[in-house]
A = this chain, B = another copy of it.
Amino acid sequence: MANQNVDYRVYLVTENYDSGHHNQYMKKIKEALDGGISLLQLRAKHESSKVFYELAKELRDTAASYHVPLIINDRVDIALALDADGIHVGQDDLPASIVREIIGPDKILGVSCSTVEEAVKAEQDGADYLGVGSVFRTKTKGDATLIELDELTRIKEKVSIPVVAIGGITQDNVKELLDRNVDGVAVVSAILSQTDVKKAAEKLNDKMKKAGSLL
């Protein structure tokens, strides 16, 4: 299993890339990195492979200068092409067991799950961590299935790999997740849609650190 010492606490997922606002997009991500995010995932479902690849290369270099790993969503080929730190797949992507075969043992593999069954299978298939959600109602597409927070607790009991909660997480509701001992929270708009991106990342980071020190 890869990279046991990855810090999953504040996991930023980037979405809605628009090449017409590239500089604005990069600026926000740098602010989030300045604010202390611990992990970065790139989603770019509707870009050409070439644009996705060029963007991913730039993000990888930017994240690396902060010692933050870059995880590529869905596209295993893009992850291989730029030798990214890891790959994240959902239940509608390539099967996790096949992905693990393709990427080898060293890259981080994350799998989206919304049930105990999916979680147990993902761990067996070689996942290094799970993205579990949606824990709260969200406007972001793709994580639409709302789960009970008790399912999060059941998953935590059944698997030994880190569990990252995702979906509709805000500065206010994050406490409910900390009470359930999640290893990290994955957010999009809680950081990227805020007026002060850096401060939003810092605040979330502080909350996660405090929770960690109480364990």
Contact = CB atoms under 8 A, between A and B. Distances in A.
A48 B92 contact: yes
Nearest to A47: B92
Contact of A102 (B74, B80, B89, B94): B80
A6 interface: no
A48 B142 CA distance: 12
A98 B74 contact: no
Nearest to A80: B102
A51 B90 CA distance: 12
A77 interface: yes
Interface string A21-65: 000000000000000000000000000111101000000000000
A106 to B, nearest CB: 16
Contact of A74 (B49, B93, B95): B49
A50 B94 contact: yes
Interface string A118-134: 00000000000000000
Nearest to A74: B49
Contact size range, A:
20 to 34
Nearest to A91: B50
Contacts of A94: 49-50, 53, 77-78, 81
Closest 9 CB pairs of A and B: A76-B77, A77-B77, A48-B92, A49-B93, A50-B92, A81-B98, A49-B94, A80-B102, A81-B94
Given A51-B92, A53-B95, 20 more contacts: A48-B93, A49-B75, A49-B89, A49-B93, A50-B92, A50-B94, A50-B95, A53-B94, A53-B98, A75-B77, A76-B77, A76-B80, A76-B81, A77-B77, A77-B80, A77-B94, A77-B102, A78-B94, A81-B94, A81-B102
